[in-house]
């Protein structure tokens, strides 16, 4: 061992046989050439070229290889691990490259590359090699901790559902080498000594001290057989107060002394291997065969993997006994501003794209009467006018009817009140025209919504009167058309505003209620440390449920339509763009699916901002497109929702799984409700990443093609490429088109034979969505 690297040993070896031994610290075996079979006390490992295997602390192993192999062995001392990683005594690392689950290839490739770099640095001995080795070893350990760690064992032979006993046994397992007494455990777990003694024997079937001695003996026996440590050292290392005590309990359990037991049972096989010195190792590394292998490892791109801190989770799904449920799909309403916007080819193309890829029933419009859609009347002496005020409207309505799209018309009180009689007359004239041209069956599918905001000075009686006039005038021509009203609703007070109580307290004919829900409404973006961001979690669904409860209390059971909503977004163009929120959108859409009849979106940022009085960023609605037809996160999130099909067979707060005639679908989400200003910092973003190990039981055995789509800040978010390709000289059409074409979720394909439980890993960044199509393969 290099005396300058006391915590690590790095050896290039040719191994034919390694006698059984107990591993001190953490060992990493990397096969550069040839084959190696490693046997531990639990299984065999067949290692081929480029395979990596981790041997854990106190794990017994032996190995056998062919004569032509070259093996790199990295050993990391117990002292180093305990000094820099407190959880080390309670952890183990299950890392064998031959067993990697789907998605872990990039992680293993990174380890291979680090091992290759470590080996070259160690044997070349440049001026900075010690620092390089510290760096490579540290990164390898971080990967093991963040990607391959599993908790230390709890005695599997104890079959009890008693959580407290399991915690006590776990503590004994992990601290057996220290001084542990019945009194110590009693105090730690807030029990009396006498009660713990009776309680332990009742639950476990043996006494506390006897059980503890068995744990210590079990570990001591391995050291007797697989190390050359002295009897006294083994006794002290395993928690016995002295050698005499150790010998006494050992003889009681094994009917002979530790010395005699070692002599009779210890395997004395000799290691058959060659450890290369610095000179020979350098020659081997520089040989044409190995340099080629190492070159491939060192030049392989590992962009797909970053060694970052993640929250580790385990998701186990058993789909063998489930009660499937249907996927509810609310009607989608797409707001475009005024109806005349559909005269633009670009807007029509976006509408058709939404209908095809997300699903769409209605186009939501404002200012139908008095806006720019109708052509102003022209004075003429013609008996029958040769022009029509509805020429533009007809062009648009022909387009909508052709594609089976209706209208969701918002009518503001202020529009009617300017000239009430004229407004009602024009509205009726337009409806009559539509009935003549398009027929009743098309028009009666439309929606008319009376709107007055929460903050209003209009008298209750006046609002009710105008609404009823609108309702009756529309229903007189189209009895089956739906006429409803917007209902402001306070999440905090759980009621509507004073001037809108007539909508629920009086017997007013209403076909549906419209409402708004926006996570941004409860946030003060000026307070960067405001913990109210955590309150945004579940806000939209909770407000929806509160609204429905409020309506039921007043005997109202009409359907509700979410006309405008938004997740956390950020209050500047910058934070609104850099804060990726795809999973937030999908989660809320899934939560609302069982609660609302319809849900609304804005078509794009341009139309949305034009609908306001200024050019400030709008925060009250979700837009599907950005400027220049770039697709925003809401578009892809809703596209995933539309892609879901079949019956729901598993569902949680951050996942949903379906079964259909092609196989299965699984959606994973990493949901974070945090201040968008914080997410500008890359270091903070990394803290929000998550690793999920998914194990599914009950999949039908067979061959599958698995299609995986990833939607996150790197795959699908416009701003990532927008900033990468930005320039002080601006952008032209070529750059904009490239951004739009390349900003989309990624697609990967895997072939998989499933027979039994199926496991895989997902590494998810902030608010990422991973969508798996698990398709049966048929021949």
Distances (CA, A) of 659 to 150, 519, 568, 748, 779: 31, 32, 32, 20, 21
Neighbours of 308 (CB within 10 A): 16
- Name the band, by pLDDT with cuts 50, 70 and 90, for residue 222: confident
Give the whole-angstrom CA distance, residue 571 versus residue 124.
54
pTM: 0.69
* End-to-end CA separation in angstroms for the chain: 57
Angle at 748 between CA 747 and CA 749, to 5 degrees: 130
Q: What is the average pLDDT across 545-571?
A: 92
Query: Does residue 251 sit in helix, strand or coil?
Result: helix
Angle at 160 between CA 166 and CA 211, to 5 degrees: 60
Question: What does the pLDDT read at residue 519?
Answer: 83
Chain-centre distance for alpha carbon 188: 37
Percent of the chain with pLDDT over 70: 87
Strands 70-76, 91-93: pairing kind: unpaired
Fold of the CATH domain 331-646: TIM Barrel (3.20.20)
Q: What is the average pLDDT across 121-137?
A: 87
Structure tokens at 572: 């500047």
Distances (CA, A) of 418 to 26, 340, 365, 426, 611: 80, 22, 19, 13, 20
Structure tokens at 322: 């489930």
Task: Please write down the long-range contacts of 718-724, taking CB distance under 8 Å and 24 or more positions apart.
Answer: 718/577, 718/626, 718/630, 718/631, 718/632, 718/743, 719/577, 719/578, 722/577
In sequence order, what are the beta bridge partners of 298?
A: none
Q: What is the average pLDDT across 52-64?
A: 87
The stretches of 286-419 forming alpha helices (DSSP H) are 288-299, 345-357, 391-402, 413-418
Residue 377 backbone phi and psi in degrees, to 5: -65, 140
Distances (CA, A) of 254 to 244, 268, 438: 15, 21, 95
Strands 8-22, 769-776: pairing kind: unpaired
Domain ranges of the chain: 8-150+276-307, 163-265, 331-646
Q: Which residue did the predictor score with more confidence, 504 or 198?
A: 504
290 pLDDT exceeds 80? no
727 pLDDT exceeds 70? yes
- Name the band, by pLDDT with cuts 50, 70 and 90, for residue 409: very high
Assigned CATH for 8-150+276-307:
2.60.120.10
Q: What is the average pLDDT across 555-565?
A: 95
Question: What does the pLDDT read at residue 547?
Answer: 96
Q: Return mean pLDDT, the chain.
A: 85
Give the whole-angstrom CA distance, residue 206 versus residue 211.
7
Give the whole-angstrom CA distance, residue 451 versus residue 444.
20
Q: Is 55 in contact with 27 (CB distance < 8 Å)?
A: yes
- Name the band, by pLDDT with cuts 50, 70 and 90, for residue 283: confident
**pLDDT (tens digit per residue) in 418-442:** 999 999 999 999 999 999 999 999 9
Question: What does the pLDDT read at residue 550?
Answer: 97
Give the whole-angstrom CA distance, residue 450 versus residue 463.
10
Query: Does residue 448 sit in helix, strand or coil?
Result: strand
Of 185-199, 238-252, 720-734, least confident by mean pLDDT is 720-734
Q: Order of strands across the sheet with 702-711?
A: 647-652, 655-660, 663-669, 769-776, 702-711, 746-754
Question: What does the pLDDT read at residue 154?
Answer: 43
Q: What is the average pLDDT across 353-375?
A: 93
9 pLDDT exceeds 80? yes
Nearest to 579 by CA among 752, 420, 717, 379: 717
Question: What does the pLDDT read at residue 443?
Answer: 96
CATH architecture of 163-265: Orthogonal Bundle (1.10)
Chain-centre distance for alpha carbon 761: 11
Q: What is the average pLDDT across 635-646?
A: 96
């Amino acid at each position: 061992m290099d005396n300058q690297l006391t915590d690590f040993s790095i050896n290039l070896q040719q191994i034919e046989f390694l006698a059984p031994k107990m591993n001190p610290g953490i060992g990493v075996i990397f096969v550069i050439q040839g084959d190696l079979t490693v046997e531990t006390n639990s299984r065999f490992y067949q290692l081929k070229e480029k395979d990596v295997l981790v041997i854990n602390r106190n794990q017994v192993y032996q190995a056998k290889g062919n004569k032509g192999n070259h093996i790199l062995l990295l050993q990391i001392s117990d002292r180093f691990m305990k000094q820099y990683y407190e959880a080390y005594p309670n952890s183990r690392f299950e890392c064998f490259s031959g067993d990697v689950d789907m998605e872990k290839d990039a992680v293993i490739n990174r380890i291979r590359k680090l091992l290759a770099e470590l080996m070259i640095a160690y044997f070349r001995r440049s001026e900075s090699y010690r620092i390089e080795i510290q760096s490579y070893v540290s990164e390898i350990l971080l990967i093991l901790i963040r990607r391959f760690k599993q908790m230390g064992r709890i005695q599997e032979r104890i079959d009890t559902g008693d959580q407290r006993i399991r915690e006590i046994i776990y503590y004994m397992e992990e601290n057996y080498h220290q001084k542990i007494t019945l009194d110590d455990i009693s105090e730690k777990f807030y029990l009396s000594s006498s009660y713990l003694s009776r309680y332990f024997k009742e639950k476990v079937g043996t006494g506390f001290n006897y059980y503890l001695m068995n744990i210590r003996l079990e570990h001591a026996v391995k050291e007797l057989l697989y190390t050359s440590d002295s009897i006294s050292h083994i006794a002290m290392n395993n928690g016995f107060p002295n050698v005499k005590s150790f010998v006494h309990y050992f003889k009681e359990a094994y009917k002979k002394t530790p010395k005699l037991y070692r002599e009779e049972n210890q395997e004395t096989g000799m290691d058959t291997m060659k450890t290369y010195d610095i000179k020979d190792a350098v020659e081997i590394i520089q040989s044409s065969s190995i340099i080629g292998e190492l070159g491939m490892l060192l030049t392989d791109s590992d962009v797909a993997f970053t060694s970052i801190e993640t929250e580790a989770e385990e998701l186990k799904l058993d789909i063998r006994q489930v009660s499937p449920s249907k996927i509810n799909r609310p009607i989608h309403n797409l707001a475009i501003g005024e109806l005349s916007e559909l005269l633009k080819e670009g807007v029509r193309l976006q509408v058709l794209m939404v209908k095809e890829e997300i699903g769409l029933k209605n186009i939501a419009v404002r200012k139908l009467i008095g806006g720019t859609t109708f052509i102003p009347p022209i004075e003429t002496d013609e008996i029958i006018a040769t022009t029509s005020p509805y020429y533009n409207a007809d062009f648009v309505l022909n387009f909508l009817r052709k594609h089976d799209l209706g209208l969701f018309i918002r009518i503001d009180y202020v529009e009617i009140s300017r000239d009430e009689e004229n407004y009602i007359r024009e509205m009726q004239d337009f409806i009559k025209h539509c009935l003549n041209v398009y027929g009743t069956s098309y028009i009666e599918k439309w929606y008319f919504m009376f709107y007055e905001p929460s903050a209003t000075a209009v008298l209750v009686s006046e609002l009710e009167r105008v609404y009823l006039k609108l309702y009756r005038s529309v229903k007189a021509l189209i009895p089956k058309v739906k006429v409803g009203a917007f209902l402001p609703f306070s999440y905090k007070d759980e009621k509507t505003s004073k001037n809108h109580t007539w909508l629920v307290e009086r017997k007013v004919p209403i076909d549906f209620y419209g409402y708004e829900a926006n996570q941004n409404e409860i946030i003060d973006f000026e307070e960067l440390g405001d913990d109210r961001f955590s309150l945004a979690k579940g806000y939209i669904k909770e407000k929806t449920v509160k609204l429905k409860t409020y309506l039921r209390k007043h005997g109202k059971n009409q359907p509700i339509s979410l006309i405008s909503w938004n997740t956390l977004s950020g209050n500047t163009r910058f934070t609104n763009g850099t804060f990726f929120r795809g999973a937030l959108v999908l989660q809320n859409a899934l939560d609302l699916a069982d609660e609302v009849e319809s849900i609304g979106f804005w078509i794009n940022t341009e139309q949305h901002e034009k609908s306001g009085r200024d050019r400030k960023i709008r925060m009250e609605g979700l837009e599907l497109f950005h400027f220049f037809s770039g697709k925003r996160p809401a578009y892809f999130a809703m596209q995933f929702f539309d892609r879901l099909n079949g019956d729901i067979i598993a569902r949680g707060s951050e996942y949903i799984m379906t079964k259909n005639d092609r196989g299965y679908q699984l959606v994973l989400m990493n949901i974070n409700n945090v201040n968008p200003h914080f997410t500008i910092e890359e270091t903070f973003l990394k803290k929000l990443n998550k690793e999920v190990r998914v194990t599914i039981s009950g999949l039908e055995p067979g061959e599958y093609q698995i299609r995986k789509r990833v939607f996150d800040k790197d795959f699908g978010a416009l701003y990532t490429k927008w900033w990468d390709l930005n320039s002080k000289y601006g952008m032209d059409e070529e750059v904009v088109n490239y951004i739009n074409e390349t900003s989309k979720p990624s697609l990967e394909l895997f072939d998989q034979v499933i027979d039994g439980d199926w496991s895989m890993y997902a590494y998810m960044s902030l608010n990422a969505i991973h969508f798996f199509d698990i398709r049966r393969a048929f021949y």
